[in-house]
Structure 1
Amino acid sequence: MKTYSEAEVKAKLEKLDYWDFEDGYLVTSLDFKDFADAFAMMTRIAFEAEAQQHHPEWSNVYNNLTIRLTTHDAEGITEKDFMLANKIEEIIKG
């Protein structure tokens, strides 16, 4: 599986609204109305992650959800990360 260079990652990130490249991860931090809304979004994302067999690292504190994506097997960012990031953006935008 091909890993993207930092320059390739940054170029591909220009097509995404909510993501940055930090410490080797695609990262987003999202705020929701309350804990229930944040947890509902996590549930929707979890089903998609399972369907893609690509699982995020994430944390939730009250209404905030932070998501970090990398392909551990490839030791870097791959197309799998961008596929899931794009799908997460679709889910967020409704």
Structure 2
Amino acid sequence: MPFTPQEVEVHLEQLEGWEMEEERWIIRKFTFSSFMKGIAFVDEVAAISEAFNHHPFITIDHRTVTLRLTSWEVGGITGIDIKEAAQYNEAFDKARG
């Protein structure tokens, strides 16, 4: 069962940089000092996603990587989206050094 928009907002208060979009996605843009650092981050995102067996939409725009998460099978945001977003944030923090 997906979270209500209010529940999503409560969870997002604990996730730096993430926002709700259209009440069915959570989204964050990550900016890097170079294209290749962004690509390395995407490799890390791929490994995390495989471990969860839950995959984000990924857009790469030069030095900006945008991740969008939702749980298609239930039509909204669930705990797995929130947990995965937290791990992406940890990967980003490590990438920034």
TM-score under structure 2 length normalisation: 0.93
1:15-35 deviation digits (Å, cap 9, x = unpaired):
011200011210001110111
C-alpha distance in 2, partners of 1:25/1:58?
Answer: 13
* Cross-structure match for 1:92: 92
* Cross-structure match for 1:48: 48
Q: SS at the partner of 1:76?
A: coil
Q: SS at the partner of 1:27?
A: strand
Q: How many correspondences in the alignment?
A: 93
C-alpha distance in 1, partners of 2:66/2:90?
Answer: 16
Q: Specify the code of the residue in structure 2 equivalent to 1:44.
A: E
C-alpha distance in 2, partners of 1:14/1:64?
Answer: 22
TM-score under structure 1 length normalisation: 0.96
Can you give the 5+ residue segments of structure 2 that lack an aligned partner in the other structure? Answer: none
* Cross-structure match for 1:74: 74
C-alpha distance in 2, partners of 1:38/1:93?
Answer: 13
Shift of 1:10: 0.3
